[in-house]
């Protein structure tokens, strides 16, 4: 059993430069996570094994980044009852629009919460995952509240 709160998964090594933003935000909030490379197309057995055992391994939320055809978040969502948050990776071909549409256009009955394209999406995916966990974990709820309060404090009332 892995027993981390969040699994951060990505379709390829090149997605790491985006998904590190999710990992960094989880570190700030002191939420446990593990990262994996799982390609929906090149490692289907790894995908099935991960998704089918994610809950038994202690994960509570999956953040899945994928580019191009971006099947990873949807395939994971079809194989687990855990919440899946999709992060579209910015692609060279269509600037990430292909990834976004592939993730957001899930069929009825297989939801994937979809973030914005790229780094901001990965960052917000970690915050969304923290929000999900905060429902049943007061420690995470308090950390998230302190972080959000600090965000408010840092906004100046007037421009410098």
Judge whether 12 is annotated as a binding position: yes
Judge whether 14 is annotated as a binding position: no
Distance CA 80, CA 119 (A): 25
Question: Which H or E run contains 10?
Answer: strand 6-10
Whether the CB-CB separation of 63 and 92 falls below 8 Å is answered with: no
Distance CA 138, CA 152 (A): 21
Quote the DSSP letter at residue 12: S
Supply 130's token pair.
């923290």
Q: Which residues are annotated as a binding site for substrate?
A: 12, 15, 42
Q: Annotated binding site: which residue ranges? A: 12, 15, 42
């Amino acid at each position: 059993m892995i027993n981390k709160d969040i699994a951060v998964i990505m379709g390829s090594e090149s997605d790491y430069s985006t998904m590190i933003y999710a990992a960094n935000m989880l570190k700030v909030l002191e939420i446990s996570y593990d990262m994996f490379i799982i390609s929906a197309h090149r490692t289907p057995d790894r995908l099935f094994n991960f998704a089918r055992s994610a809950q038994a391994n202690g994960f509570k939320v999956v953040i899945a980044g994928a580019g191009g055809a971006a099947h990873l978040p949807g395939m994971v969502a079809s194989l687990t009852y855990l919440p899946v948050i999709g992060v579209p990776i910015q692609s060279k071909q269509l600037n990430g629009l292909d990834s976004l549409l592939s993730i957001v256009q899930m069929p009825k009955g297989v939801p994937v919460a979809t973030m914005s394209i790229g780094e901001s999406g990965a960052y917000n995916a970690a915050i969304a995952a923290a929000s999900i966990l905060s429902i049943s974990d007061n420690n995470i709820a308090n950390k998230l509240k302190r972080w959000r309060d600090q965000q408010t404090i840092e906004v100046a009332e007037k421009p410098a």
